[in-house]
C-alpha cells in the first residue's frame, strides 16, 4: 500500500491495525500522542495519590483509591496500544525520564486541599472525558478500543469529583471557600489540557487529516466549557473568568484570554511541580526494578518449562 491508498482507507473510515502498512509519519505521530497520553495517566496518579492517606472518611478513601488504581490501568492500556507501533515500554519510559516525551501540563500543579480532589475529578477528568470520547473514533484501532474502555471508567471519576465539590459547596462557609479556592486554581489549567489554540498547534493539521483527532483543540475546549459552566452554577460556585458569558448568537460561552506564556512554560518543564513529578516517577521506577526482574525471570522459567 502507499500513502494514497492509506489516505483512501482513512477517508473510508477504515481502522488502521498494527499489521497494516502506515506512513512512518503516521506511526511517529501516534507514538508521540499515545505515549504522552499514557505518561499523563501515570504521572496523574501523583497529585491524587497525595491525598489517599488524608481522605476525610473511609468511603472517600476507598473512592480515591479506586480512582487512582483506574488511572494506572489506563496507563497500561495506552502503553500496550503504543507498543503495537513497534516501540518498547522501556524506550517510552526512558523518553519520559530524558525529557523527550511530555505529559499533560495539568499534573504539574499542586493539590493543596481535599477540595482539590473534587476539582481534579470534576474538571480534569471532565476535560479528559470530552477529549477521550472524541478519541474513541480515532483511526488507529488499538488506541480507539483502549479509549472505549477508558471512557467507561472516566464518568465515575468525574462524578465522584463533582460530588466532593457539591458536598463542600453546600457545607460550612469554610468548606465552600475551600471548594471555590480549588476551582480558582484548577479552572484555567484544566482548559489548557486541550492544548494550544488551533492556529498555534503544529500537530493538528496531520492529526485531523489522518483522523487521529476528530475534533480540534479549540472545539473540544469550547465543548468542555459549555458543559461545565452550568455545573458550577448549580452548586453555587463561580468560574474565575470575568469574561465568561453566554453568546446566544454563537450558541457557545465566550471566555477570557488564556495565559499562553504560562501554558508553554509548564509544557516546557517549568511548572510548579514538573521537577518533583519526574523525580518521583524516576524513584518509583528504580525501586520497582526488582519487580520487573522477577516478572521476567518467572516468564523465562515458564518458557523453559513449556519447551
Q: Which residues bind ligand 3HC (CB under 6 A)?
A: 32-33, 36-37, 40-41, 44, 71, 74, 102, 104-105, 124-125, 128, 131, 192-196, 201-204, 207, 217, 267
Cβ 5 to ligand 3HC, closest distance in Å? Answer: 24
User: Minimum distance between the CB of residue 294 and ligand 3HC, rounded to whole angstroms?
Assistant: 29
Minimum CB–partner distance for residue 242 and ligand 3HC (Å):
23
Other beta carbons less than 10 A from residue 77's beta carbon = 20
Separation CA 251–CA 86 (nearest Å): 44
CA angle 159, 162, 168 (to 5 degrees): 140
Pick between residue 67 and residue 176 the one whose CB is nearest to ligand 3HC. Answer: 67
Least distance from C-beta 276 to ligand 3HC, angstroms?
16
Contact 52, 121 (CB under 8 A): no
C-beta of 74 vs 281, nearer to ligand 3HC? 74
CB nearer to ligand 3HC: pick between 37 and 176: 37
Compute the least distance from the CB of residue 269 to ligand 3HC, in Å.
10
**Structure-block grid coordinates of residue 144:** 480507539
Angle in degrees, CA 81, 36, 72, rounded to 5: 65
Judge whether 103 and 71 are in contact, CB under 8 Å.
Answer: no
Contact 112, 75 (CB under 8 A): no
Amino acid at each position: 500500500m502507499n500513502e494514497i491508498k492509506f489516505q483512501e482507507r482513512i477517508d473510508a473510515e477504515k481502522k488502521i491495525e498494527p499489521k497494516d502498512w502506515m506512513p512512518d509519519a503516521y506511526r511517529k505521530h501516534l507514538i508521540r500522542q499515545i505515549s504522552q497520553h499514557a505518561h499523563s495517566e501515570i504521572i496523574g496518579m501523583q497529585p491524587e495519590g497525595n491525598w489517599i492517606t488524608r481522605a476525610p472518611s473511609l468511603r472517600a478513601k476507598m473512592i480515591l483509591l479506586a480512582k487512582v488504581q483506574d488511572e494506572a490501568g489506563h496507563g497500561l492500556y495506552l502503553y500496550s496500544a503504543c507498543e503495537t507501533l513497534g516501540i518498547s515500554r522501556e524506550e517510552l519510559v526512558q523518553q519520559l525520564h530524558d525529557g523527550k516525551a511530555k505529559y499533560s501540563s495539568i499534573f504539574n500543579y499542586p493539590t493543596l486541599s481535599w477540595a482539590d480532589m473534587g476539582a481534579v475529578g470534576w474538571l480534569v477528568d471532565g476535560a479528559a472525558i470530552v477529549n477521550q470520547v472524541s478519541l474513541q473514533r480515532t483511526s488507529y484501532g488499538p488506541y480507539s478500543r483502549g479509549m472505549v474502555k477508558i471512557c467507561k471508567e472516566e464518568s465515575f471519576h468525574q462524578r465522584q469529583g463533582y460530588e466532593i465539590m457539591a458536598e463542600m459547596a453546600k457545607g460550612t462557609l469554610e468548606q465552600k471557600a475551600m471548594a471555590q479556592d480549588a476551582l480558582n486554581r484548577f479552572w484555567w489549567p484544566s482548559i489548557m489540557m486541550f492544548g494550544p489554540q488551533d492556529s498555534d498547534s503544529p500537530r493538528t493539521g496531520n492529526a485531523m487529516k489522518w483522523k487521529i483527532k476528530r475534533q480540534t483543540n479549540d472545539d473540544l475546549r469550547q465543548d468542555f466549557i459549555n458543559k461545565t459552566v452550568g455545573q458550577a452554577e448549580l452548586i453555587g460556585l463561580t468560574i474565575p473568568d470575568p469574561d465568561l458569558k453566554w453568546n446566544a448568537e454563537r450558541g457557545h460561552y465566550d471566555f477570557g484570554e488564556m495565559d499562553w506564556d504560562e501554558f508553554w512554560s509548564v509544557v516546557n518543564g517549568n511548572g510548579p511541580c514538573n521537577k518533583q513529578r519526574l523525580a518521583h516517577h524516576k524513584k518509583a521506577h528504580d525501586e520497582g526494578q526488582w519487580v520487573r526482574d522477577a516478572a521476567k525471570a518467572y516468564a523465562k522459567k515458564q518458557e523453559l518449562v513449556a519447551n
